[in-house]
Structure 1
Amino acid sequence: MGRKFFGTDGIRGRTNEAPITAAMALKVGQAAGQLALRGDHRHRVVIGKDTRLSGYMLEGALEAGFTSVGVDVTLVGPMPTPAVAMLTKSMRADIGVMISASHNPFEDNGIKLFGPDGYKLSDEDEEELERLLEAEPVLAPSDKIGRVKRIDDVKGRYIHFAKATFPDRLRLDGMKIVIDCANGAGYNVAPAVLWELGADVVSLGVEPDGTNINKNCGSTHPQAMQNAVVEHGADIGLALDGDADRLIVCDEKGTMIDGDQLMALIAKRMQADGELKGDAVVATVMSNMGLERCLKETGMGLTRTKVGDRHVLKEMRRSGCNVGGEQSGHIILSDHATTGDGLLAGLQVLAALVEAEQPASKLLRQFDPVPQLLKNVRFKGGDPLAADSVKKVIEAAEKDFGSSGRLVIRKSGTEPLIRVMAEGDDSEQVTRWVDEICASVEQATA
């Protein structure tokens, strides 16, 4: 069945343009509410959001949708996506909703859904939702309409949960940490966790105004974090994205460290402690070949999936692995969480730093990356990858790389972009083929 509404990470788009409208959010609430009506107990949904202005509109519409089909609503306000997943499970809700467009600008928004186990909905459930969205909702009788309440202690619950994932024997005393919360969902919890663990905290991106989420801050714009680390003489910098499920790090010199390096560090540490499951890390096709070689040196494997943390998590659950993620900084530690959590990943990096008693610049660079280049080509419609001219260039590139390199060319699941990535030991070869493929895609869309 083709997907009309759901992409790689829920429903996402420009606010007040289909499908991200109040009318659509009402329908999502009704459809998801009907999906949750299993069993004869009183049903409940947990709804969280990031700091976008449009979150108020979508929250109200979802609230109306859920209550209209007989589901009680618990509002938790601005909270990280992984916190909403955790709360859905711990509060025994039937479904959880996060209103966020993650790292996208404030004009965009999205709706992510979690099942009662805290995991994102299965493909089967999303397909059923697609069907329900186009069907007439079954409204509750007047005396069965859902009730709404707001929970005020969720901040404390998540802070306690996050701190519990940090080793009891360790503290962050004497460590200066810059944390950039992207003016997003983690602004009121992430700095508190670090401070309570003993760190000297320099907070950035903690003054959301509804329109400044991800604006020149956070994991997609890390320059502010890098500059602050150098300016304040900090030991490390952590940057989250708008819904705090992604982490990017810089060392004490302001040098960037991506998700591949962090996964290597965390996996090695867990392997040494006998905590790594499955003898492998699960990552996507975008992860660097250097990560694969690094893990192999210590007896670990790398299992690759399609892009998207839902695909990573699906493989982790299938194979029994407990470390996985994406180069972009979505890191899933399934012993603690059911989805990517930037703060929890950051705490594991900090624990390794405390134990090693080494500067971040020495510890965090676990391998030398293979030359890799990613470029995006925007398109207006159609399928440029189906054009014969594009196919021929791709075939020529694959033949030229042979076994010494890789190509990953795909449509973005959240934006009208073709993503072209190549990597190999010869950087000039990588650049040449990425440029040629991008040019062929542009000509096919002209």
Structure 2
Amino acid sequence: MFGTSGIRGEVGSDVTADLALSVGRALASEGYRHVVVGRDTRESGAMLADALSAGVRECGGTVVDVGTAATPTIARSVGWLDADAGVAVTASHNPPEDNGLKLWNPSGQAFDGDQRAEITRRLDEGAYELVGADGVGGEHRWEESHERHVAALCDACGSLDGVHVAVDVGNGAGAVTATALRDLGATVTTLNAQPDGTFPARPSEPTAETCEDLCRFVAATDADLGVAHDGDADRTMAVDETGAFVPGDHLLALFGRARAGDGDRVAAPLNTSLAVDDALAEVGASVVRTKVGDVYVAERATEADVVFGGEPSGAWIWPDETLCPDGPLAACRLAETVHDRGPLSTQLDAIGGYVTRRESRPVDAKDEVMDHVGRLAAASYDEVDASDGVRVDRGDGWFLVRASGTQPLVRLTAEAAEAERATELFEAARSLFEEAADAAESATLQSE
């Protein structure tokens, strides 16, 4: 039921009010008696938040509703309010027909494997501790979450006087970013700032393709950088002052190098470019790799010598602030580096040296396909890491075939120092995937 980012799927089939009610019941029955609930801008969010809140209260818990808010605002509010857990009703970067539920601890860390397993068990067994009329819990609104998050960002970052930032909110819940940047002294221009859960301006996920308007705007104005969020603002991607989209691996290297020093480690998933390793080695730091998913990065970020964690997809974690990926904090920290160290393009000049190819392929039976990928890879290659998908190290480069934890996709990644070799490795990954997809389809037909 839980993927790498909580429960997520299409509203009306995978994600329903009945499911949200059951998750609320399971939370309160498991002992999470004081629960913060918030949502992104999707129309279905209000329905699901109401159902989840009803489930918590039906089992004697109390609910604090923070309304429409960024996921990092919701996650941080759990600790600020001394609550037991929080729930963000969001499908993050997924398309508008989807929604989901992501569960948070007071530290800002998402529920770990053991916690998710206990909630799943209660859902499977219907093990809820319903109360009578005199035990039903209460609910109240907390209107100050936005202001509290802004204050935290201003405390974490220095003056941004003289910096012009273009913020593409993507019609999502990330308005806190623009407010914080202005309070820190930056000049801010917003794009797509009207909340609208149908995401009419661009798809929710901020990528080089979906952020073309932001790139053009920055290139045509005096903006020093651009930042873009997904629907719930747990992700941030960037555009430099020339209008060039910054690859997520390079942004990870920039953030990590700015935070880490000799002997420190940075947590990053196994689909991360070797450019990050090289950039950190220059300051005496190193990378510790995790499974793909911010929950796994956050788990490693609890270790004492891990000072930063991130994913090339745009999730950034500063564990001294919060264990939740905080897109608004990333935006403010990035603007701070421009204020203190000069143009973003110049800072990125020394980062790179590798060619990385990425592609996502839609697939219905991704688990069955990945089973075949694993068997085929084991029969064809010596250096195979199957800890999360199938990663094949070829000495002069690597490729990864991995099922998405949030969508019906299989993601292909390949990297090498030379473009021609990266293409060869990418074609090997694609061939492996296509052979596995054919085998899975044949096996399905034979069983019918």
Moved more, 213-222 or 84-93: 213-222
Quick one: distance in 2 between partners of 1:390 and 1:146? 51
Pairing 1:414-433 to 2, within 5 Å after superposition:
414-433=406-425
Residue of structure 2 equivalent to 1:261: 250
Quick one: distance in 2 between partners of 1:46 and 1:388? 41
Residue of structure 1 equivalent to 2:25: 30
Pairing 1:349-388 to 2, within 5 Å after superposition:
349-356=334-341, 358-381=342-365, 383-387=368-372
TM superposition score normalised by structure 1: 0.90
In 2 relative to 1, CA 362–206 (structure 1 residues): closer, same or farther, beyond 3 Å?
Answer: same
Aligned-pair identity (%): 33
Residue of structure 2 equivalent to 1:207: 194
Residue of structure 1 equivalent to 2:152: 161
In 2 relative to 1, CA 234–352 (structure 1 residues): closer, same or farther, beyond 3 Å?
Answer: same
Quick one: distance in 2 between partners of 1:410 and 1:142? 48
Out of 427, 433, 437, the position equivalent to 2:432 is 437
Out of 160, 174, 178, the position equivalent to 2:162 is 174
TM superposition score normalised by structure 2: 0.90
Out of 5, 10, 21, the position equivalent to 2:6 is 10
* Residues 262 and 283 in structure 2, CA contact (< 8 A), matched pair in contact too: no
Out of 309, 326, 329, the position equivalent to 1:324 is 309
Residue of structure 2 equivalent to 1:75: 65
Deviations 1:350-397 (A, max 9, x none): 2121112x2221123441241111222222225123337971598359
Quick one: distance in 2 between partners of 1:102 and 1:201? 24
Residue of structure 1 equivalent to 2:173: 185
In 2 relative to 1, CA 201–68 (structure 1 residues): closer, same or farther, beyond 3 Å?
Answer: same
1:230 aligns with 2:219: yes
SS of corresponding position for 2:30: helix
SS of corresponding position for 1:172: coil
Moved more, 258-267 or 228-237: 258-267
Deviations 1:249-302 (A, max 9, x none): 11111111133222322333334xxxx585121111111111112211321111
Any stretches of 5+ residues in structure 1 without a counterpart?
Answer: 38-42
Moved more, 103-112 or 218-227: 218-227
Residue of structure 2 equivalent to 1:132: 122
Moved more, 53-62 or 375-384: 375-384
Pairing 1:279-358 to 2, within 5 Å after superposition:
279-356=264-341, 358=342
- Count of residues in correspondence between the two structures: 427
* Residues 214 and 241 in structure 1, CA contact (< 8 A), matched pair in contact too: no
* Residues 75 and 104 in structure 2, CA contact (< 8 A), matched pair in contact too: yes
Deviations 1:20-74 (A, max 9, x none): 000010000000111235xxxxx32110110001101101101110110011111
SS of corresponding position for 1:318: coil
Quick one: distance in 2 between partners of 1:133 and 1:420? 33
Residue of structure 2 equivalent to 1:117: 107
* Residues 262 and 284 in structure 2, CA contact (< 8 A), matched pair in contact too: no
The Cα of 1:432 is off from its aligned counterpart by 2.8
The Cα of 1:344 is off from its aligned counterpart by 0.8
* Residues 94 and 407 in structure 2, CA contact (< 8 A), matched pair in contact too: no
In 2 relative to 1, CA 389–78 (structure 1 residues): closer, same or farther, beyond 3 Å?
Answer: closer
Tell me the C-alpha RMSD between the 2 structures. Answer: 2.2
Moved more, 385-394 or 171-180: 385-394
1:63 aligns with 2:53: yes
Any stretches of 5+ residues in structure 2 without a counterpart?
Answer: 385-391, 442-448
Q: Which amino acid aligns with 1:373?
A: R
Quick one: distance in 2 between partners of 1:229 and 1:36? 49
1:252 aligns with 2:275: no
Out of 125, 139, 144, the position equivalent to 1:148 is 139
